Structure 1
Amino acid sequence: MSKIAVHTTLTIALSGLLATPAYAATLDINVEIPKLNVAEYHRPYVAVWVEGADQKVAANLSVWYQQTSNSEGHGTKWLPDMRQWWRKSGRSLQVPVDGVTGPTKPVGKHALSFTDKQHLAKLAPGQYTLVVEAAREVGGRELLKIPFTWPAKGAPQSGKAQGSTELGAVTLTVKP
């Protein structure tokens, strides 16, 4: 075999290695917004974040709020109604935050997925808590927590919390 043929074969073989998908640790979350039988229904504002063992925010994952103005003003006015998130992180954020904030969601199940290549890139290995908080105008507030270890080692780990008013089931799966 000539040097050119060997070089070409080696280049093709190495390019196949580079095309192999890179696997990342993931955090898959499902948040259920329950159907409520009330006279005046407003979609809830929801914040999803990760807290470290020190109970400080390690990562803001998602914040759903009214992003357009109406006769009552702009939706950011009611972000402080998500009291825990607001005290720990919200008041220091300049919303909107690309990749984090979005519009409120309708009744139903909503899937979120995050990897160690994006929102969780700065998470050191250790014990964390997924926190989901919801607040609704002419409604109530609810806060759910699910502990987990980051990153998962070996088999995926999962957790679940069940809301009683503003949130339905919240599930978490951490995959290595």
Structure 2
Amino acid sequence: MRVLVSSCVLAASLGLSSVSYAASMDVAFEIPRISTEKYARPYVAIWAEHSGESTPFLVWHLQKKDDEWLSDLRRWWRKLGRYDNHVDALTGATKGPGHYQETFALGDLNDFTLYVEAARENGGHSLVKTKINTQDRVTEYRIPADTELGDIVITLTP
């Protein structure tokens, strides 16, 4: 009987050790070149929503204390921005057209919706999202391009 119990405990612990969670997430995205007379660099926000909570990852904006255009990131503003939950360490200046890649630690996040939002003064607005579950065997997610954002590739790494 003791051997059977030991074997079951060993098998269970080996089974649990094979469950892996992603430790980080790479988000590669493009800010497309848009031909327009008055081009303004877009504001960009990336965050996760899970169980009624929001976790901010990145906000690119003008870096002014009273940045009047932050509310153009409409969903981010409703979920995080108006409550001043964006942390200075997560913010950066706006960037022009090009390819960008950012890496974020996931901590205990395992089942969430990732949002990427971009808005330009005198320009368009894009809000894209994808559901991510780090317990699935999927390690790459793709979101097709939208008006202010090119294709987005999300890669989970252990």
Correspondent of 2:145 among 163, 167, 172: 163
Distance 1:94 1:53 in 2: 17
Structure 1 unaligned runs (5+)?
1-23, 69-73
Q: Are residue 43 (structure 1) and residue 41 (structure 2) matched? A: yes
Give TM-score scaled by structure 1 length. Answer: 0.70
Correspondent of 1:136 among 97, 120, 127: 120
Correspondent of 2:29 among 23, 27, 31: 31
The structure 1 segments of at least 4 consecutive aligned residues displaced by more than 6 Å after TM superposition are none
Q: Which residue of 2 aligns with 1:92?
A: 83
The share of aligned pairs that are identical, in percent, is 39
Deviation of 1:174 (Å): 1.0
Higher Rg: 1
Correspondent of 1:64 among 54, 60, 63: 60
Deviation of 1:129 (Å): 1.2
The one-letter code sitting in structure 2 at the alignment partner of 1:107 is: P
Q: Which residue of 2 aligns with 1:11?
A: none
Deviation of 1:156 (Å): 5.7
Structure with more contact order per residue of length (Cα contacts < 8 Å, sep ≥ 6): 2
Correspondent of 1:108 among 92, 98, 101: 98
Deviation of 1:105 (Å): 1.1
The question of whether the paired residues in 2 share the 8 Å contact of 1:156 and 1:175 is answered with no
Distance 1:124 1:160 in 2: 19
Distance 1:90 1:161 in 2: 24
Helix, strand or coil: the match of 1:86?
helix
Deviation of 1:34 (Å): 0.2
Distance 1:124 1:170, change over 3 A: closer
Size of the alignment, in residue pairs?
A: 137
Deviation of 1:88 (Å): 0.7
Deviation of 1:98 (Å): 3.1
Deviation of 1:163 (Å): 2.2
Q: Which residue of 2 aligns with 1:13?
A: none
Deviation of 1:82 (Å): 0.5
Q: Which residue of 2 aligns with 1:147?
A: 131
CA RMSD of aligned residues (A): 2.0
Deviation of 1:99 (Å): 2.2
Helix, strand or coil: the match of 1:164?
coil
Structure 2 unaligned runs (5+)?
1-21
